[in-house]
Amino acid sequence: MKEVNVNLPFNLDGGLAVYQSRVWQGLTLEWREGHLLLEFPAEVDSISSAVYGGGTGRLKRAVNQYVTRDYECSNPVRDMENKLQEWGYPLEGCAGMMTAVPLEHAAVAEEDTGSAGIMCCVTAAAGNAARAGSQRSVLAAYRPGTINIMLGIDGWLSPSAMVNAVMTATEAKAAALADLGITDSENGLIATGTTTDAIVLAVSGSRRYAAEHVYAGTATDLGGAIGRLVYSAVTESLRSVKAAEAVRRAELADLAQAEQLAASAETGQAASGEEAVEFEAVVAAELLPPQEALIGQPGHLKKGGRE
pLDDT at 221 > cutoff 80? yes
pLDDT of residue 117: 98
Least confident span in 132-146, 166-180, 291-305: 291-305
Sequence ranges of the domains in the chain: 6-251
Average pLDDT (173-188) is 95
Distances (CA, A) of 49 to 10, 27, 95, 197, 208: 24, 21, 9, 9, 28
The pTM score is 0.82
Average pLDDT (88-109) is 96
pLDDT of residue 30: 96
Top-confidence residue, 12 or 150 = 150
Rounded to the nearest integer, the mean pLDDT of the chain is: 86
Least confident span in 16-30, 136-150, 271-285: 271-285
- In 3D, which of 191, 282, 176 has the Cα closest to residue 238? 176
Least confident span in 99-103, 180-184, 277-281: 277-281
- For 161, residues 6+ apart whose C-beta sits below 8 A from its C-beta are 213, 214, 215, 216, 222
* 47 vs 49: CA distance, rounded Å: 7
Top-confidence residue, 258 or 195 = 195
* DSSP line for 115-155: S-EEEEEEE---TTEE-TTS-----SS---BSSEEEEEEES
pLDDT of residue 69: 83
* 249 vs 242: CA distance, rounded Å: 10
CATH 3.60.70 assigned to domain 6-251? The reply is yes
Average pLDDT (24-28) is 97
Are 127 and 183 in contact, with CB atoms under 8 Å apart?
A: no
pLDDT of residue 127: 86
* 115 vs 98: CA distance, rounded Å: 32
Instruction: Report the share of the chain in percent with pLDDT over 90.
Output: 67
* 102 vs 92: CA distance, rounded Å: 27
pLDDT of residue 255: 85
Number of residues that this document lists for the chain: 307
